[in-house]
Every structure is written in structure tokens, then in C-alpha cells.
Amino acid sequence: MDALLTKTKPAASTGSLGDREPGQPRKKISGSQALLRSLVAEEVTTLFGYPGGAIMPVYDALYDFADQLTHILVRHEQGAVHAAQGYARVSGRVGVALATSGPGATNLITGLADALIDSTPIVCITGQVFAHLLGTDAFQEIDVVNTTIPVTKWNVQVTEAKDIGPAVAKAFYIARSGRPGPVLIDITKNAQNELIEESEHEKCENIRTYRPKPVLQLSQVDAAAGLINKAKKPFLLAGQGVLLSGATNELIAFSEKTGIPVACTLLGLGGFPTDHPNYTGFLGMHGNYGPNINTNECDVLIGLGMRFDDRVTGNVTKYARQAKIIHIDIDNAEINKIIKTDVAVHADAKDALNALIDKCKENCHEAWRDSFHRLAEVEHEKVIRHEFNPKGELMMAEVINHLSQFTKGESIIVTDVGQHQMVTSRYYQYKNPGTNVTSGGAGTMGFALPAAMGAKMAMPHKQVVAVIGDGGFQMTMQELGTIMQYKIPVKILILNNNFLGMVRQWQQLFHDKRYSFTEMENPDFVRIASAYGIAGRKVEKREDLKDALKEMLDAKSTYFLEILVGKEDNVFPMVPAGAGVGEVLLEAPKKS
């Protein structure tokens, strides 16, 4: 992709060239200075990184950019990339992470993979050994380009200073355009040191063989509208594409005009208000009962900006076989990849919805929407009523329900991966776009704490709450040091069951309670937080829960709240492995 031709336009001047007298020779700057000037021109304000030998020239240049670039020194490179993800997810801007060569670069790979599958726009910049040492197994030399090809949307190695600016321009264009994703730039140390004439950064606005936004085909829209207008039981599944295209208002308008009920995927949460009468719940393996059951009852199923992930479909041979499938997605590779489509609309979600609003007839589908309400009543009786039982051990569901009520569903909630993630997705009532930050496709434990740091840096005026399990917290808890150093006022809520809860649930239900290496002996988390200067408390009794949550939310600085929850607190509904969505369980299967 390096050889692709680009058309560019000059970026706004940073003022550095305007001081040069006419006829005077241009000042010489280093490749590292050129890199930082390019980042400023791309409107970057915040960097997350960790220095080392191969990236040291960039850090030396960064010393003089303190008034233009805020650098956050993380405690591990994985923390940098996850923080960049959190920053990007809530701001809509490109997140940026810096790392050195070798292990510094390879420590980014988990986050790159996470960002690729979850369509998060980030640019990672790594230092590399001198160009003449490439291929010699020099100290801390890793072939970063070939290592990261599978987990990046694009990557490039730069060995000359003159190529740094164009590489940055292309990287930002690719990262944020079309279906967003991660990009990596690997810069050799000689390129960072080399002197070149200063010049204006030229932003990339076009790559000849890359078409990030498809042209809407009205024939596809007509075909989709034809199916929708004839449908008796249409159902829409909203994915993250709705959020990435900024199509929340269009989705609301479409649903209200057509009367079509809407459910959200894990990453689509926040794309449709949970208090809207047409909202039916959360999709997937631990999603709400109604959306799962009625997926196999609808006659037209509309997948909007979602990829029919296996956690949504269950067994694909049993998935929506009775329905006509309309799939709307900006990435043509996702269409017909998993579920055979009757009508494919290869388009940006916002463009497609605007066209469909004009083409589709007004409708109500009252009886069909009522069927979701009846199924919700079944779920309440079988599941929710028991999870809000005011007796016995504290339940994760009641914690999240109170959190949602206290914040009115308006805080930015960053979840890790596991039972707490599924419970939060079910019970937190997201009202607004950009308030749900989680690791979806990769399921990366350790994501939440650094991602919450990045989210708070991007949205300092918003309440940011990290909801984390005791297992995932211990994977990246060193980032408490970053939070301490920069006084990042995130709220950290640990739901502690002293187990790797999701794995334990499967062991309980499907492996005869053979709890093989899932029980955890945990340290005193509150004392650890205290060692980092972070105030906090531990809740073991239900009567202390509300007061503790309010104390956490009212705190002006960082606050750490650990809540002990039931050790065998399971998450239902649940679609077992190999089952169809219509076979969703509301309780543990009885042993024969």
C-alpha cells in the first residue's frame, strides 16, 4: 500500500514557516521534529506512550512541544494503546500511542488487534533500529511491520526523514476514514535523527485505489424498502456502525416512522436510547430474551452497521431462517460473510437511513412490538426479579442498576471483559452515543482501566466510570500509577467475586462444577489504591451500597470502590455454545 498515489492539500500552518523572510533558505529540522509537527497539523493534542532507546529522538523533540502536545507516560505499552482506544471511542478523533522498538512495539499488538476488530481509529508510532541494522537481529530489533500486518488496517516502515510527513498524513486518513481502524508507523532511528528542510504538512484527502465511503446505490435502497414496506414483523439490529457514522438521530427517525423495533449489539449500545418505546434490548449470548427469541420470529431482519458476530447469531444454521435479511454495512467484506443476505446495501449507515426514511412507509407494528414486551415480562419473572432480590449476597445486577439510576444513564461507562461486562450491558441504561466503551470482538481483559484514562483525557467534563472484574483489573492495574501521576479523576468500580467469573460460570453449567484454576486469592485492592494516593472503600453489605456509590460519583478526584458480589452469581439469559438464539436459557439447565 506504500506505493499508492495520494492527492493532498496543505494543512493549516502551525506558524513555524510564516516567520521566514522571503528568499531565506528553509530551516533544517530533524525527522523527529517533522513527526511532531505533522501530528500537530493532524490536530493531535494528546499522546500516550513509553520511551525507549529506539524512540528516544522523538522524546527529545517532544520536550520542546509541551505547549502543543500533552504526553501521558503510561506504565506499560498495552496501557498506551488501550488509552488511545478509549480516547478515540468517546471523542471520535484518532488516538495516538508511542512505543520503542522490540518488546515496546510487540506490547502494542493486543491493543492493535482489539482496535482492528472493533473499528477504532488509532495511530501507533514505534521507533526502530537504524536502517543499516535492519535484518541483523540487532538489540531490540523486531520485524514490526510483518508482525502487525494481521492486526492493522495499514502499516508502514519509514527509513528516511523526508517520508515521515507523508506517512503520517496517509496514516491518519486511513485510520479515520471508511470503516475506521488501527495504523502503525515504524520509524528507524536514523530517520528520526536526519535533518531535512522544514515544510508545511500536507494532509492526505485521497488515495487512488482506496474508496473508504461507498456510493449509495438507490437500487439497493429500493429493494430494501420494498421488503420493509411488505413486512409484518420487521426487526432492526443496530451495531457500532450507527455510532461511527453519527446516525443515531436518523435511526430514531427511521424507527419512529416505520414502527420497527430496535435491538443493539454490544458495541452498538448507546446508538439507540434505551428509554425509547421501540427499544427492545441488548442482543447476543447474554442479551435480553425478547431480541433473541424474536430474531427467529421476524419476517424481515435488518442488520445495520453490524457484522453478525457469532456472539449475536449463535448457531448460524438455526439463525433467522424464516426471515429475509437486509444487511447495511460500509465494509463490503462483512456482507454475506456469515449470514446470507437477501438485500445488500453497501453504504454508510447514515446515508442508507436517510434514503430509507424517504422510501419507507409509515407504520406502527403495534402487535409485533407488544410481543417483545411480553417476552420482557417473562425475562423479568425468570431472571431480573431474582437478581434484584433484596436478600442474600450482593448481585452484580443490582450494583449496575443503582449506578445507572444515580448517573441517569448519562455517564461514560468503560467495561472490561467478563460477567460484569455482560451485566453492565444488560442493566446500564445508556441514553447517549459515545458512552459505552468496551472490548467487543477481541474480548481483552485488562482493557478497561487504561481505556478509562483515555476516555477521561478526551472528555474531562464527563463522568467516566470504569467497571472491572477482579481478574481483568489485575492485568493492567499498574496504570494506577499513571492515574496518580496525572491526577486523572476516573471512578474505578471493581465487582469482586474472587473468581474468573465467566469461565467459572461455564465450568459450573457445562463441566459439572469442576472449577479448574478459576478461583482467585486476591490482595487488598483498596490498600493498593491507597498506596497510589487514591481514596476508596470496600463494600460487603447491601445496606452500604447506595451510600458508597454516591460517595464515588460525588468525589472530585479519582475514587476506587470495591464491591464484593456473589461468588456463584451467574449471568442469564445465556445462549449456550452450539445452540441457536431461540434456545436461549433463562436459568441453569437441570441435570438429567
Strands (E), 289-428: 300-304, 324-329, 343-346, 412-415
Known catalytic residue: 502?
Answer: yes
HSE on the CB side for 428, CA within 13 Å? 30
Cα separation, 573 vs 171, whole angstroms: 42
> CA 586 → CA 24, 378, 506, 574, 576, distances in Å?
76, 9, 15, 7, 11
Alpha-carbon dihedral sign for residues 118, 152, 124, 198:
negative
Q: How far apart are CA 536 and CA 530, in angstroms?
A: 7
3-state secondary structure of 316: helix
Task: Say if strands 436-437 and 491-496 run parallel, antiparallel, or are unpaired.
Answer: unpaired
Confirm whether 499 is a catalytic residue: no
Catalytic residue among 33, 42, 48, 77: 77
Query: CA 544, 545, 550: angle at the middle one, nearest 5?
Result: 105
Has 431 been annotated as catalytic?
Answer: no
Cβ partners under 8 Å of residue 424, min gap 6: 400, 413, 415, 467
Q: Which of 395, 422, 453, 502 is catalytic?
A: 502
Whole-angstrom Cα distance, residue 531 to residue 527? 6
C-alpha cell read off for 528:
493498593
Candidates 33, 128, 153, 189; catalytic one = 189
Contact 124, 135 (CB under 8 A): no
Q: Which residue has the cell 446500564?
A: 428
Full DSSP string of 507-574: HHHHSTT---S-B-----HHHHHHHTT-EEEEE-SGGGHHHHHHHHHH-SS-EEEEEE--TT----SB
Cell of 20: 521566514
Catalytic position from the list 140, 217, 478, 508:
140
Residue 26 DSSP label: P
Per-residue cell: 474: 489485575
Do the Cβ atoms of 297 and 319 come closer than 8 Å?
no
Amino acid, single-letter form, for residue 417: V
> Catalytic annotation on 366?
no
Gap between the Cα atoms of 587 and 592, Å rounded? 15
Q: Of 1, 139, 381, 510, which is the active-site residue?
A: 139
d(CA 433, CA 92): 11
Residues 204, 213: Cα–Cα separation, whole Å:
15
List the one residue out of 12, 43, 45, 33 whose CA is nearest residue 457. Answer: 45
Is residue 308 flagged as an active site residue?
no
Active site residue ranges: 77, 139-140, 189, 502
